[in-house]
């Protein structure tokens, strides 16, 4: 009987385990958190290609972190036994890249990985071995532009694993001036919006030409650190805090090509020039017109019969611009939620390639991946001076994106410069202003008829 009972138990256990499915933890690279850094200064020599004196504020010492490293975090998530995706983490934002390839490098006899950000025309490529990826971030639209990259598995901190106790709470609104200094010849205004929980710091900077999206970092002692990497932006902010005066001074870096200083003071009343006052039409009240080719190579004009008598939104943008992508996503969501047959939207893209075929390919890729239903036109090279020449009816192009509100007779009624997206406190106000502007624009159709 005892033997029979034992065999019966064994049979039950085998049956139970037969119903369970044991999965491998991973088949390629480990799933879970990774900490990555872009090595902005791969050499020990201070970069100064212009041979100019460096502002003393650019050489502040930050002993909590490794100078010249821009850190960011990502997750590796498996969607099945052999397929994984990479999720970039910036504060509250999650950016999923499913365009990932993994294989064996024959020349190096190591596993290789490539993470593509096709809308921005950039990618990360590297070799993987024992929980480390080492390679570079490559920007196709800049000539010979790459930054060394290294990522380590199992680390979820950003700047420092053991920060010093914060000497100040930066939560609130800060009046900011960027430059002059380094690569910025003229000062420009900004507003810092921060939320701090113990050492953790999140927030963004608003400027008159757009926001710096989701920043994430830390306050350690009397120093503050913030960074973002989203496939296009690679921003690093470092600052020394005067806790008594409630001011900050530090450096701002964009990739390896741009560096300037910034200063801030706490000011809950800080303001910027209205985005509706930055760009104007040269001859108010006079109808405008333009003609550009679309992604199919067909010439499209504002005066085409298909657009006659309709209100129009014309977005001046670039596929390389994250603020433009945020605005495009907003426009798509608005069109999906509202049935407005008398409203025509179109985009005019100004790209970072001189070659027309490469620019059209970038615009077509953007249109396809963003599922944009309206015409996307090719305006030319992204230089703002050249863009202004292509659109001479406007006072100037100072920002991507710039949004034109045009009535049924092709008169510009309003222009919104820049975009303050979902990372800012102004986003809800913009949504309300946009709705009001659209209703005003549609109302003009009745008065014109």
Under DSSP, is residue 167 helix (H, G, I), strand (E, B) or coil? coil
pLDDT score recorded for residue 37: 97
pLDDT score recorded for residue 20: 37
pLDDT tier, 446 (very low <50, low <70, confident <90, very high otherwise): confident
pLDDT tier, 94 (very low <50, low <70, confident <90, very high otherwise): very high
Task: Enter the pTM of the model.
Answer: 0.87
- 261 beta partners: 251
Residues with Cβ within 8 Å of residue 82, at least 6 apart in sequence:
27, 28
Find out whether 231 and 122 touch, Cβ atoms under 8 Å: yes
Helix ranges restricted to H, 275-420: 322-337, 356-369, 384-390
Identify each DSSP E strand in 118-211 by its residue range. Answer: 122-129, 132-139, 145-153, 172-178, 188-197, 200-207, 210-211
Write the DSSP assignment of 351-389 as a string of letters.
ES-SSHHHHHHHHHHHHHHTT--S-EEEEEES-HHHHHH
Q: Has residue 416 got a pLDDT over 70?
A: yes
pLDDT score recorded for residue 55: 57
Q: State how far the Cα of 71 lies from the Cα of 64, in Å rounded to an integer.
A: 13
Q: Has residue 24 got a pLDDT over 80?
A: no
Residue tagged 């990739």 (tokens): 255
% pLDDT > 70, the chain: 88
Q: How many Cβ atoms from other residues are within 10 Å of residue 249's Cβ? A: 15
Task: Look at the alpha carbons of 223, 424, 264, 384 in this order and tell me if their dihedral is positive or negative.
Answer: positive
pLDDT tier, 110 (very low <50, low <70, confident <90, very high otherwise): confident
| Mean pLDDT score of the chain | 90
Q: Please give the domain boundaries of the chain with CATH numbers for all domains.
A: 32-153 (2.40.128), 172-266 (2.40.128.120), 291-448 (3.40.30.10)
């Amino acid at each position: 009987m005892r033997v029979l009972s034992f065999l019966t138990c064994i049979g039950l256990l085998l049956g139970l385990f037969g119903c369970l499915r044991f999965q491998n933890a991973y088949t390629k690279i480990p799933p879970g958190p990774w900490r990555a850094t872009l090595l902005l200064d791969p050499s020990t020599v201070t970069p100064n290609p212009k041979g100019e004196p460096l502002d003393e504020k650019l050489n502040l010492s930050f002993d909590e972190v490794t100078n010249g490293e821009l850190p960011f975090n990502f997750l590796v998530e498996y969607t099945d036994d052999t397929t994984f995706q990479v999720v970039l983490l910036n504060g509250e934002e999650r950016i999923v890249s499913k365009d990932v390839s993994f294989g064996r490098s024959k020349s190096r006899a190591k596993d290789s990985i490539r993470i593509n950000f096709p809308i921005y025309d950039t990618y990360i490529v590297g070799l993987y071995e024992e929980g480390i990826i080492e390679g570079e971030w490559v920007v196709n639209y800049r000539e010979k532009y790459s930054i060394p990259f290294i990522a380590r598995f199992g680390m979820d901190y950003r700047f420092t694993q053991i920060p010093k106790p914060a000497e100040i709470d930066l939560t609130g609104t800060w009046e900011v001036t960027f430059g002059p200094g380094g690569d910025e010849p003229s000062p420009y205004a900004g507003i810092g919006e921060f939320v701090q929980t113990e050492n953790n710091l999140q927030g963004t900077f608003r400027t008159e030409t757009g926001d710096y999206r989701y920043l994430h970092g830390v306050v350690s002692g009397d120093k503050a650190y913030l960074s973002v990497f989203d496939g296009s932006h690679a921003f690093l902010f470092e600052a020394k805090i005067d806790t008594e005066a409630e001011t900050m001074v530090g450096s701002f870096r964009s990739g390896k090509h741009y560096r300037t200083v910034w200063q801030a003071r706490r000011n809950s009343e800080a303001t910027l020039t209205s985005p509706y006052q930055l760009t104007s039409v040269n001859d108010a009240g006079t109808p405008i017109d333009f003609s550009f080719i679309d992604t199919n190579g067909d010439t499209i004009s504002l005066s085409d019969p298909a657009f006659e008598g309709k209100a129009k939104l014309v977005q001046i943008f670039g596929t390389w611009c994250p603020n433009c992508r945020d605005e495009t996503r907003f426009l798509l969501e608005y069109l999906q939620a509202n049935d407005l047959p008398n409203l025509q939207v179109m985009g005019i893209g100004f790209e970072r390639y001189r070659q027309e075929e490469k620019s059209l390919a970038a615009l077509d890729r953007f249109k396809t991946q963003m599922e944009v239903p309206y015409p996307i036109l090719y305006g030319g090279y992204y230089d703002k001076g050249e863009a202004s020449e292509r659109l001479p009816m406007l006072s100037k192009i100072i920002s991507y994106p710039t949004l034109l509100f045009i009535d049924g007779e092709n008169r510009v009624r309003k222009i919104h410069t820049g975009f303050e997206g979902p990372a800012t406190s102004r986003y809800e106000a913009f949504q309300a202003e946009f709705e009001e502007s659209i209703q005003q624009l549609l109302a003009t159709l009745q008065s014109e008829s």
